[in-house]
Amino acid sequence: MRRAPAPAKLNLALVVGPRGANGKHELCTVYQRIDLCDRVSLEPAPRLEVHGFADDTLVGAALELLASRAGVQPRWSVRLTKRIPVAAGLGGGSSDAATALRLANETLSEPLDLSRLQGLASELGADVPFFLASGPQLGEGDGSRLTPLDLPQDYWVVVALPRGVTKESTAAVYERFDARNGADGWEARRDELLERLAEVRRPRDLAALLPSDLASSPVAERLRAVGAFRADVTGAGPAVYGLFHHRAAAEAARRELAPDGGTWVTLPAWYV
């Protein structure tokens, strides 16, 4: 039996460009893991089975794809223990898939190298390759072209999921973005984000990163009002994060928002 945590992610910034010929939008995003994790366990089995989360499609697809590329049968049993909120913009499904890929790959007599594994992961979703790389990353292209970032990790994170707010489909979010000509000025915003990233030295410098192009939330303003030095929607939402210098302030913010939905206090995470 092999076991590993599958951490959630934040988009500390998300700048979106026009839709390309391949149907995907150009992105420039900052990925950061947090220590809010699902758990994935995997062991050999007569056939592929995924337990613990009835709505899973991505883990099963990931292992079938790995088996096909490795020339083996997909004979693994996987159990998912979910803690990351589902369909919230936190990447739980992608993280589960990447973690299962890594664990299953370790069981092969000839494991795929990291480059091939990340190439396979990119076929499953734009943010899946990120969960195979350590540390914060800059995501470009459709989000799957990664460059390591040296960002501060010494702060606390509050994640808030407003009660009664459901995630729109990704397609609907991008359709609305296109309808309001959201890609106008994309190159200038991307360049500004890269310039501000280069100036980040301390946690408080993350406050200067651009807000998400895809979504906003009044919860972000509430988090700033109770002391967050940066707050924004992650991904296409609806989850919102706030960054705090001290645990006591983060815990106080969590208590303030708790009556209105799910809240978590956590930390940046470096590990794969």
Q: What would the CATH number be for the domain defined by 156-266?
A: 3.30.70.890
**9 a catalytic residue:** yes
For 146-169, the pLDDT digits (tens) are 999 999 999 999 999 999 887 778
Q: What is the pLDDT of residue 53?
A: 95
Q: What is the pLDDT of residue 20?
A: 86
For 205-259, the pLDDT digits (tens) are 999 999 999 999 999 999 999 999 999 999 999 999 999 999 999 999 999 999 9
Distance CA 227, CA 110 (A): 50
For 111-157, the pLDDT digits (tens) are 999 999 999 999 999 999 999 999 999 999 999 999 999 999 999 99
Using DSSP's 3-state secondary structure scheme, residue 126 falls into: coil
Distance CA 50, CA 235 (A): 26
Distance CA 157, CA 240 (A): 10
**Catalytic residue chosen out of the listed positions 96, 127, 213, 232:** 127
**Catalytic residue chosen out of the listed positions 9, 56, 167, 213:** 9
β-strands 2-19, 230-233: how paired? unpaired
For 86-120, the pLDDT digits (tens) are 999 999 999 999 999 999 999 999 999 999 999 99
CATH class of 2-148: alpha beta
Q: What is the pLDDT of residue 168?
A: 79
Closest Cα to residue 9, out of 123, 115, 125? 125
Position 24 pLDDT exceeds 70: yes
**167 a catalytic residue:** no
For 27-75, the pLDDT digits (tens) are 999 999 999 999 999 999 999 999 999 999 999 999 999 999 999 999 9
Domain boundaries, the chain: 2-148, 156-266
Q: What is the pLDDT of residue 272?
A: 63
Q: What is the pLDDT of residue 167?
A: 76
Q: What is the pLDDT of residue 169?
A: 83
Distance CA 66, CA 61 (A): 9
Instruction: Dump the DSSP string for 39-84.
Output: EEEEEE-SS-EEES-TT--HHHHHHHHHHHHHTS---EEEEEE--S
